[in-house]
Amino acid sequence: MNSFELSWKSKDGLDLFGRVWEPGERKPKAVICHVHGLGEHSGRYVHVAQAFTKAGYAMLSFDLRGHGRSGGERGHILSMDDYLQDIDSLFEQARSRYLSLPMFLYGHSIGAVQALNYCLRRKSNLKGVIATGPSLHTSVEYQKIKVIMAKALGALFPTVTIPSGLKPGDLSRDPAVVKAYINDPLVHDRASLGFGKNMLEANRWTLDHAAEFSLPLLLIHGKEDKIAFPSSSIEFAAPLKENCTLMLWDGLYHEVHNEPEKTEVLDAMTIWMDARLA
């Protein structure tokens, strides 16, 4: 596997940090553009990239604005369009390097919500979309004070940040994954009121428009996910038919790619993508 780092400017002038992984001497058969979840960064997906490059895919990922080594206030966005424009720029980077290759979009958690939202709002010729643990329904719905603060104060004081409430132990059943997450200096637990307001609105809009999703879609969710409830994937998949593959995994937590069964999960993703290229 070959890997390198890159950086570019967002539409509004922020520095965005990205990573590229390629399958060694072989020309990639397709390209995967990846969007990570809240509080984390692209560097937590090296093992995912290793699995995909071994299967012949190139993978591009980047640190969301306000995350990792990218610019911006931690855990903050002014509008959902900030994320959509940043995904636009990720595809620009991918196409500048792999102009003629087929492309997939893969998002996890809020990155999965962004991926679904992006493909509903931006018509594209992607070969398919993978969404793991989309956070369309979360425990935040039961934290009434946070919901009220986000809805009432998100427009007035958008940059005020509060703890995200994410519990590291709910990410994975692998203690090493949890320990690495806790000790990772690039991980943060902040979410602004503006972020909360925008994501609550984006979640509802995405679910309301699920029936309009037209691209091949692989939805994967751990049945024991306490961060993003499995009902997120079940509800989104409900109005879709042959273009959607829903996989619910017994016993798995939120980060299905970091569970003890991660090899089977990543194999399932690869098999699904290979079928879209056949």
Residue 88 is among the residues annotated as catalytic for this protein:
no
Q: Is 89 exposed, middle or buried (0-12, 13-18, 19+ CB in 10 A)?
A: middle
pLDDT in tens, 196-206: 889 989 999 99
Q: Is the pLDDT of residue 150 over 70?
A: no
Q: Which of 225, 232, 233, 257 is catalytic?
A: 225
What integer is the mean pLDDT of 134-162? Answer: 76
pLDDT for the residue 218? 98
Radius of gyration of the chain (CA): 17
Domain containing residue 109 = 2-277
The CATH number for 220's domain is 3.40.50.1820
Q: Which of 10, 42, 70, 109 is catalytic?
A: 109
Residue 188 is among the residues annotated as catalytic for this protein:
no
Domain total for the chain? Answer: 1
Comparing 159 with 33, which gets the higher pLDDT?
A: 33
pTM: 0.95
CA atoms 252, 43, 47, 182: torsion sign = negative
Residue 254 is among the residues annotated as catalytic for this protein:
yes
What integer is the mean pLDDT of 234-255? Answer: 96
User: How many Å apart are CA 87 and CA 157, to the nearest integer?
Assistant: 26
